[in-house]
């Protein structure tokens, strides 16, 4: 299977035109501060820069990305910077909802499996015979002894426990799905803005 059709899940790609007369070397010089961060290693040539991050600091503006390639290519209107960045965090946030949905289905299946058969349920609904009332001994009555307590009914709900609910799994699946959508859109815009700002000398 061609991963190109699905790797957009954890890849961020884009392109930016270079300023007129700006060379690849000059463009990478302006982007260089982004790759001089703790836990970041990089290699560059005149038209390509590759980087890799391990244990990136929280203040790193590219901490969400694990590695990537930046290339200078010829475009219709001049040189263009193309980038392809990968993020394991994005992949995890995409897969997490699927995992929690699987947990929800497993919880439902367990609940169905633990459900008593139909004949057992009908038998349980049949009222149990009332225990026979044993008369008190006349001597106990004369001495003023209290009558014996009636046996307490068993609480079936407490005996069998609560039925497992998939609600929590659905909630977590929704939260991670929302987190992925926001992060995927936001990180795409943030890195594009960061590259554009550096290339323009801002």
- CA 172, 173, 174, 179 dihedral sign is positive
| Mean pLDDT confidence for 77-95 | 94
Helix, strand, or coil (residue 49): strand
Burial (CB count <10 Å: 0-12, 13-18, 19+), residue 196: middle
Read out DSSP for 87-138? -HHHHHHHHHHHHHHHHHHHHHHHHHHHSPPHHHHHHHHSPPPPPPPPPPPH
Q: What is the dihedral of CA 92, 177, 62, 51, to 10 degrees?
A: 40
| Mean pLDDT confidence for 181-200 | 94
Q: pLDDT-derived band of residue 178, with 50, 70 and 90 as boundaries?
A: very high
* Strand pairing class (40-44; 48-53): antiparallel
* Structure confidence at residue 122 (pLDDT): 55
Q: Which CATH fold would you assign to the domain 3-88+194-199?
A: TATA-Binding Protein (3.30.310)
Mind listing the pLDDT tens digit for each residue in 28-62? 999 999 999 999 999 998 899 999 999 888 889 99
* Structure confidence at residue 67 (pLDDT): 96
- The domain limits of the chain are 3-88+194-199
């Amino acid at each position: 299977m061609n991963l190109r059709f699905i790797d957009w899940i954890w890849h961020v790609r884009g392109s930016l035109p270079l300023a007129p007369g700006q060379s690849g070397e000059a463009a990478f010089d302006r982007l260089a501060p982004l790759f001089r961060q703790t836990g970041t290693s990089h290699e560059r040539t005149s038209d390509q820069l590759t980087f890799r991050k391990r244990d990136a600091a929280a203040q790193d503006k590219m901490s969400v990305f694990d590695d990537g390639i930046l290339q200078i290519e010829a475009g219709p209107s001049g040189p263009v910077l193309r980038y392809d960045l990968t993020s394991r965090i994005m992949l995890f946030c995409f897969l997490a909802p699927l995992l929690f949905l699987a947990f929800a289905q497993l919880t439902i299946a367990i609940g169905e499996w633990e459900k008593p058969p139909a004949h057992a349920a009908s038998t349980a609904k049949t009222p149990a015979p009332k225990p026979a009332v044993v008369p008190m001994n006349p001597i106990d009555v004369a001495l003023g002894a209290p009558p014996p307590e009636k046996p307490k009914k068993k609480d079936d709900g407490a005996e069998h426990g609560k039925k497992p609910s998939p609600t929590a799994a659905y909630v977590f699946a929704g939260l991670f799905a929302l987190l992925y959508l926001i992060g995927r859109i936001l990180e795409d815009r943030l890195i594009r803005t960061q590259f554009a700002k550096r290339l323009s000398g801002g």
